Amino acid sequence: MRDIYVDGAWIPSAGTDGIDVVNPATEEVIATVPAGSARDVDAAVAAARGAFDGWAATPAEQRCGYVGEIADALERRRDEIASAISADMGCPIKIAQLVQASLPITVAGTFRDPALLPGPEEIGNSLVVREPIGVVGAITPWNYPLHQVVAKVAPALAAGCTVVLKPSEVAPMAAYLFAEIVDEAGVPPGVFNMVSGTGPVVGEAIAAHPDVDMVSFTGSARAGARVSEVASGTIKRIALELGGKSPNVILPGADVEKAVKAGLNNAYLNGGQTCTALTRMIVHRDQRDQVLDLLKAGVAKFTVGDPSDPATRLGPMASEAQRDRVRGYIEQGIAEGATLVCGGPDAPEGVEKGFYVRPTVFADVTPDMTIAREEIFGPALSVLTYDTEDEAVAIANDTPYGLAGAVWAGETEHATAVARRLRAGQVDVNGGAFNPLAPFGGYKQSGNGRELGRFGVEEFLETKAIQR
């Protein structure tokens, strides 16, 4: 069983239990990590607190230099990282290489630039300065098990904070590789610490700890609410990146073939286990049949199978519990009267082992149906129809979430105008590309705070006014 990483060293956990890491394609145990304890969190937080003053006083150029070295090491170990993520959460190897391993390299690289850190500002007789908030507790999910680590740890370190990380126990192997990289980069002891374990034990101990100044959490809305509740006892800052039920609005005049293809690829990316997945395709009633024909043809190209095979486009769900959850939602969609276009709750043909789900599309979905309101987190796409543009916008906004969205129209200006009406933290227009320097975060129950770029750094800073 592996150790935990505290104060610059790999040490045994104070807990005696282990957590098996299961390959979701084979259902075999591939590793065991410690089920950390509150005592482990105490040790990690003490190390982070002890290292904070020295790290905060380290010049920004030097701190960002360490982050740059981490980015370079991630690049060197790209293939190893991709294989680890494919094995412990089931992501097809091609997607693991293109997204799971590559995106963190790009994101970490942005924080090698100290220009992202805001400088002092003169306002009247006040000198306004930004200072690192302190010890940060980072709690990360299993669906993008390295990207979410990097999106929190890299800007926190650049800002001058020290970190205690709890990676997901479902898919922790990339986080272990990341800890090795941090150690090899020579980051001073105590600046970065990692304790593996479960949310109710390690996660809650981090959130409740009086010496943790901020918690940055990514996960479900239910778990985020619990983190907020536990953290409120010590009045610490909380940044939450939670769920989504993101709309993909296709307006008359849009390139329908391009919009449907891009929308389906987005909805099924990472097996649909993506918080920004465009899971509600909102189309004009007159284009319903055309869209469904395109979706049927598109779904047929999503090869389900072994994630280590480069030809596979849809691997298993990350765990047995996640597979059962997704299948349950598909059954509920059928029960509530949605039209099953393709897929369904049964295992894909020819699959005898692994946590697989059929790629599924529903039509004639209404905004009140469960599959239109709750985050499924699997390869299940809902098609909803509208008659007017105002109705399309109303359907898009009729959700407790507000993380992402997309708009397709014949003219960019028209699509942008509609995008501004959507209550979401980021909206793609006519297939706009992901920007690692743009703010990432949501409205409503999708959370609060922002990640990436200078916005991500600012989350980890306090503001001080010095009157002179």
Contacts (Cβ under 8 Å, ≥6 apart) of 350: none
Strand 126-132 to 121-123 pairing: antiparallel
Catalytic residue, from 275, 375, 458, 459: name it.
Answer: 275
CA 36, CA 39: separation in Å to the nearest integer? 8
Structure tokens at 273: 């286990």
Q: Bridge partners of 129?
A: 464
424 neighbors 442 (Cβ within 8 angstroms): yes
Tokens of 322: 């996640």
How large is the C-alpha radius of gyration of the chain? Answer: 22
Task: Answer whether 41's CB lies under 8 Å from 206's CB.
Answer: yes
**Nearest alpha-carbon partner for 412 in 434, 397, 427, 393:** 427
Contact partners, residue 57, CB within 8 Å, separation at least 6:
none
> Under DSSP, is residue 290 helix (H, G, I), strand (E, B) or coil?
helix
Which is the catalytic residue, given 169, 241, 375, 458?
241
CA-based nearest residue to 161, from 237, 260, 244: 237
Give all strands (DSSP E) within 102-157, no chain letters.
Answer: 121-123, 126-132, 135-139
346, 392, 405, 410 from 252: Cα distances, Å: 35, 11, 17, 8
Q: Which two tokens stand for residue 173?
A: 């192997």
Across 170-297, the runs of DSSP E, i.e. the strands, are 192-194, 214-218, 237-241, 247-250, 280-284
CA dist., res. 35 & res. 308, Å (int): 28
User: Does the annotation mark 320 as catalytic?
Assistant: no
Do 171 and 21 form a contact (C-beta atoms < 8 A)?
A: yes
Token pair recorded at residue 115: 């220009």
DSSP 38: H
> Length of the chain, please?
468
Cα-Cα-Cα-Cα dihedral sign, residues 361, 367, 370, 374: positive
Q: Does the annotation count 241 as an active-site position?
A: yes
Residues annotated as catalytic (active site), given as ranges? 241, 275
